[in-house]
Structure 1
Amino acid sequence: METLDIEHAVTRLVASLVPGQRTMLGLAGAPGAGKSTVAAQLLAALPGRAVVVPMDGFHLANAELARLGYADRKGAPHTFDSAGYVALLARLRRRAAGEVVYAPAFRREIEEPVAGAIAVPPEIELVITEGNYLLLGDGHWAGVRAQLDAVWYIDIDDALRRDRLVARHVHYGRTPDQARAWVMRSDEANAVLVAATRARADVVLT
């Protein structure tokens, strides 16, 4: 495992891509670490050559979370279709000739996954998947790492990360007090799990 700044890591990855071949890259990190921001930087550096397939598209629907009694822990490992996520990564890795693969996306404005929202054409050279649990070793999550060529772990100051999360929750409709309560109860419990997987990454981004 090595430690790199984001600019160096992005530059090196772009230079390593081989036309006609596909690379599968994972971006891991705690909630609010900046995974989506790094993914956006990679997309900007590789116009038309990369697609982001977020883990969050595999959130269970709110109705199913309520049925299972998991609504107050949405975002924990057991509130995702982890087996479905691994199966999709395997399909993307196989890159069948002429096949467009469709992946789900998570829409924060409705707090629900949407099926078939992300198209991955066969010519795409870099598939970026980002999420909290890419390096988790439990259950179906343990199958994620084998589908990825490399995983970067994004490491930032915890206070900044929590501030970002509170601002995100407020933006999508919670009051500041509700946002802080959710972050400290649910998001931080998930962050502890994610931090324990850091040593399994190939690169730590600072």
Structure 2
Amino acid sequence: MADTSTSRRGNSAPSVIQATIPELVALARSLIMPGQRRVLGITGAPGAGKSTLTAALTAAMPEAALVPMDGFHLANAELLRLGRRDRKGAPDTFDADGYAALLGRLRQPDGQTIYAPLFDRQLEESIGSALPVSPDAPLVITEGNYLLLGTGGWERVGAAIDAVWFLEVPEALRLPRLIRRHQQFGKSAEVAEAWVQQVDEGNARLIEATRARADLVVQLVDAGQG
């Protein structure tokens, strides 16, 4: 696997690598610099396996902290007020400015534990201050759909991240996985498939358009395993 640890956003087309989880753990560790806190972002379309990858990375790297974008979902009551509940997951259904502000704090730890919100998929709501980030953590891993989106406040999110990997999987794997995930959290097969086609795939096209801004495009060699 080539040395791709240096951020190159905006300079050239991203390198594309095929890698195993252990290789990606080694690559993530290469981002750590003594005396600094670095932020690694994992992005990709819905169902690409971002949560699975970040869980594997943090399980292998106890020194790293995980802060997902999903904790910044707007509350369902606010989405209803705004008329956006039926497209929850679109860029304007998140608090992008709050997410960027937290990443900015995390980049400059002041010796205190910093708390991040967590999205509970059973409740379909975010829980504030649920994820403690130790002041000693040298690497924060964050994952989400819109890390490379350049509008709507998301540009400040991207500016607070040192390197962003775009996770890419075949559509034949991603779409059934996404439908199954919706079913696991209470949707019928029919409703899950409709949501994927009417909501998730519109978001997926928007995310795919940001691929060229990534520092690295990652194709998991064992993507079918999780």
Tell me which residue corresponds to 1:103.
Answer: 116
Q: Aligned ranges for residues 20-39 of structure 1 at < 5 Å?
A: 20-39=35-54
Tell me which residue corresponds to 2:222.
Answer: none
Displacement, 1:6? 3.5
Tell me which residue corresponds to 1:91.
Answer: 105
Q: Aligned ranges for residues 168-183 of structure 1 at < 5 Å?
A: 168-183=181-196
Tell me which residue corresponds to 2:78.
Answer: 64
The amino acid of 1:40's aligned partner reads: A
Runs of 4+ in 1 over 3 A off after TM superposition: none
After superposition, the C-alpha distances for 1:71-111 in whole angstroms (9 at most, x for unaligned) are 11100001001110000000001111x21110001000010
Structure 1 unaligned residues grouped into runs of 5+: none
> Which is helix-richer, 1 or 2?
1
Counterpart secondary structure, 1:18: coil
After superposition, the C-alpha distances for 1:84-143 in whole angstroms (9 at most, x for unaligned) are 0000000001111x2111000100001001100100011001100100000000120011
CA distance in 1 between partners of 2:188 and 2:152 (Å): 35
Alignment pair present for 1:158 and 2:157: no
* Contact residue 3 and residue 205 of structure 1 kept, 8 A: yes
The amino acid of 1:46's aligned partner reads: M
More displaced 10-residue stretch of structure 1: 172-181 or 37-46: 37-46
Instruction: Call closer, same or farther: CA 1:75–1:196 in 2, change over 3 Å.
Output: same
Displacement, 1:27? 0.3
Tell me which residue corresponds to 1:196.
Answer: 209
The amino acid of 1:61's aligned partner reads: A
CA distance in 2 between partners of 1:2 and 1:155 (Å): 12
Tell me which residue corresponds to 1:14.
Answer: 29
After superposition, the C-alpha distances for 1:26-62 in whole angstroms (9 at most, x for unaligned) are 0010111010111012112212x01110000000000
The amino acid of 2:50's aligned partner reads: K
* Contact residue 55 and residue 131 of structure 1 kept, 8 A: yes
* Contact residue 59 and residue 106 of structure 1 kept, 8 A: yes
Structure 2 unaligned residues grouped into runs of 5+: 1-13, 220-226
After superposition, the C-alpha distances for 1:162-191 in whole angstroms (9 at most, x for unaligned) are 111110111111100000000000000100
Tell me which residue corresponds to 2:88.
Answer: 74
